[in-house]
Amino acid sequence: MNKDVIYIEPEDDITDIILKIENSKEKIVALVPPKKAGVFRSVVNIKLMAKTATTAKKKIVLVTTDPSIKKIAANVKLPVTKNLQSAPTIPTVEDSDDEISSEELFETPEEEDTDAQNISETEDDATEEGDAKTKETKAEPVTAKQDEEKDENKDEQDDSTGKDEDAKTTAKKDRQDNSSKTSKSKSGGAGFLGWLKNNKKLSIALGTCGVFLIMFLVWALVIAPAVSIQISIRTNSNNFSENVTFTTVLSEENADEGKFYLEEKKVESSQEVKFEATGKKNVGKNATGEVDVYAYFPLNIPASTQIKEGEQFTISGLVYTATEQVVLEYDGKGKEDCANKTKPEGLVDYGCRVNGTVPVVASEPGTKYNIAASSSGWDTNARVFAYSSKDMTGGTDEEITIVTQADVDKAKAALAESTPEETENKKDLLYQEQISDSDLVIDSSFRQTANDAVPTPAVGEEVKEGVTPMLKATTKASVYVVDKTKIEQFIAKKAELGDNKKIYEMKKPFIESFMETSAGFTGKLKTSYAVGPRITENDVIEKVRGKGLGEAQHDLKDIEGIEVRIDKSVPWVSTIPNDPNKITITFEVKDQNGGKIETKWDNEEDNNQQDSSDSSQDETTKE
């Protein structure tokens, strides 16, 4: 049956030992205490070890010849052996050997490493001396008893009638002696133990003080010791400037070579303003009637004149429009076809007059177009004479409110005041809604266009009762962005820091001289960054754990670019604890002028390294 041999270090506390027992892969665990192991001189600690073994379904054996440890093990019923080759036994208070089968506990390995053999040989020597003394002590009462029996047999042979009275006297004396010993034992006997039993209250007080003293020592030596290490990292500022190119085709992006994908962000905003319509429009009926027309033609010459549909006739500023086409025509056959055969005054050879009638409608509605017949005052562009022999009738008035161009122009002025400026549109409309923290905005690529304002109702349309006219304009804005993470990775790559350097702060990168060319887009990438030594929390812990304060501080100061301060939790701490949980690491990053850099500490790399280190430690522990 295999066993696991665990050598306890002097600085190991009960928690460390329990963890080692629980982490053991074997059912049998042999614990080898050091020469000075205070943790094994506590009954509570030994009981905790036994309880842990029971819970973990393991058996533990103490490899020691220390009488005090063996005595405590006897009270707890914990097996003890003097070396790794000997069979374990459960010791008693009287140092009796109640052996347990070695097959039941563990088998002795055929080969032990050199350290185990040396320890076993040393312990063998010490144990053999103790065993010799123990056997000698135990042998005395047995020999005396045998001698006494021989004497009694001899006396019986010499004096068969013998000394019965002397034998009775001797037995009585022996009983008195035994009674006296028992009485002394019950009364506590002589010495310090007897005194304690005779002074119970004082004993309780001393025991309580002892418990508190032990608790204080555990707190002072095990729990309280801790350190806080503050690392101040000094950085140097560097400027970065590099020509880069851009593309609007994602598949053409090559960030490692400085060619980045441009993503266009767009947003559309609307501005509107209410206004009052002041226009008036008459939507009543238009007046209708007829205009009489006539023309003169030369005699005996065929001719005609045409009044087209839509021809306008005016009188006193009122306009009437022809609704039909009318033709005045002379066939040239003689005066018989003429309405007036008398040559008009001023017209030479124009002796034939031809009459006609043109139906007209008023150009606008209204009763003002209802006029009486008039033989004069009419004017027209047609080559005819005009008059009206009948009244114009049918015109009515009905006034409505409409939107005029003047109303719209006034509303546009008010709308311009409410339209956001270009910079405000960037901030309020574009950036907050479209741009994320992972985007780097190219400010010079921002474009904004506003469409013409559109009134509702349109110009000239009626504004119905209860409706408020509205003027609305639409503003469109767009800007190009690139992936900020890829930009920062490109900067870090170009900086060529090496494994022992790290960028702790990078100012916001920006693109300068952004322009579009026949080959795409170009620009210059600029920023500044702070560089300092690369150091992680795990690096610090592994460098200082278990070392003296002075040595630890000296080793850390060997790292170029950092300053170190170590604070102790209690004054008596002189060594960095081995337990990482008792070491607190804080980092402070400063610029080259000593000012504090407000930067988020990147723990991702530290965590990866810590996990890797923990894995390595686990592998070492298993081995």
In this structure, of 357-371, 524-538, 598-612, the range with the lowest mean pLDDT score is: 598-612
Q: Which residue has the higher pLDDT, 523 or 150?
A: 523
- Please give the residue that has the higher pLDDT: either 593 or 175: 593
Instruction: Give the integer Cα–Cα distance in Å for 400 and 277.
Output: 11
Residues 11 and 126 in one domain: yes
Q: For position 292, what pLDDT does the model report? A: 93
* Residue 333 forms part of a structural domain: yes
Q: What is the pLDDT of residues 153-206, one digit of tens each?
A: 444 444 444 444 444 444 444 454 544 444 444 444 456 677 777 777 787 888
Domain boundary among 135, 150, 174: 135
- Distance (Å, whole) CA 497 – CA 534: 10
The CATH number assigned to the domain holding 339 equals 2.40.30
Q: Do 365 and 427 belong to one domain?
A: no
Q: State whether 360 and 378 are in the same domain.
A: yes
Query: Domain for residue 108, yes or no?
Result: yes
Residue type, 509: P
The predicted structure's pLDDT at residue 185: 45
Alpha carbons 120 and 440: distance in angstroms, whole number:
71
Contact residues for 467 (Cβ-Cβ < 8 A; gap 6+): 457
- 520, 246 in Cβ contact below 8 A? yes
Phi, psi of 279 (to 5 degrees): -75, 150
The answer to whether residues 39 and 53 belong to one domain is: yes
Residue 391 lies in a domain: yes
Number of other residues whose CB lies within 10 A of the CB of residue 227: 20
> In this structure, are 108 and 216 located in the same domain?
no
Is the distance from CB of 258 to CB of 244 less than 8 angstroms?
A: yes
In this structure, the answer to whether residues 371 and 300 fall within a common structural domain is yes
At 423, the pLDDT band (50, 70, 90 cuts) reads: low
Residue 63: name the closest of 95, 93, 26, 37 by CA: 37
pLDDT of 619 strictly over 70? no
The letter for the amino acid at 56 is A
Q: Do residue 407 and residue 384 come from a single domain?
A: no
**Residue 65 CB-density burial (10 A; 0-12 exposed, 13-18 middle, 19+ buried):** buried
Give the three-state DSSP class for 382. Answer: coil
Question: Which among 379, 360, 363 is positioned nearest to 315, based on CA atoms?
Answer: 379
Q: What is the rounded CA–CA span in Å between residue 123 and residue 84?
A: 10
Under the banding of pLDDT at 50, 70 and 90, the label for residue 119 is very low
Q: Which domain holds residue 468?
A: 265-276+403-484
In a domain, 622, yes or no: no
Question: Residue 623: what pLDDT?
Answer: 40
Q: pLDDT tens, 210-253? A: 888 888 888 877 777 888 888 888 888 888 898 999 998 999 89
For the cut 70, the answer to whether the pLDDT of residue 108 exceeds it is no
CB contact set of 198 (below 8 Å; sequence gap of 6+): 188
Q: Is residue 543 in some structural domain?
A: no
Q: Domain count for the chain, please give it.
A: 4
H or E element that contains 394: none
With residue 302 as reference, give the H or E element that holds it: none
| Amino acid code (one letter) for 496 | E
State both tokens at 154. Answer: 């001899």
> Phi-psi bin for 487: left (phi > 0), alpha (psi -120 to 50), beta?
alpha
Q: What is the distance between the alpha carbons of residues 141 and 553, in angstroms, rounded to a whole number?
A: 65
**Do 392 and 436 reside in the same domain of the chain?**
no
- Nearest partner of 520 among 299, 259, 295, judged by Cα: 259
pTM of the predicted protein model: 0.42
CB 320 within 8 A of CB 362: yes
**Would you place residue 427 in the very low, low, confident or very high pLDDT band (cuts 50, 70, 90)?**
low
Question: Do residues 19 and 126 share a domain?
Answer: yes
Range 8-36 average pLDDT = 87
pLDDT tens readout for residues 555-571: 887 787 788 888 887 88
The total of other beta-carbon atoms located within 10 Å of residue 318's CB is: 17
Whether 382 and 311 have beta carbons less than 8 Å apart is answered as yes
- Position 19 in a domain: yes
Q: Which of 441, 462, 484 is the last residue of a domain?
A: 484
SS3 readout for 146-168: HHHHHHHHHHHHHCCCCCHHHHH
303 and 362 in a common domain: yes
* 43-55 vs 67-76: helix crossing angle, rounded to 10: 50
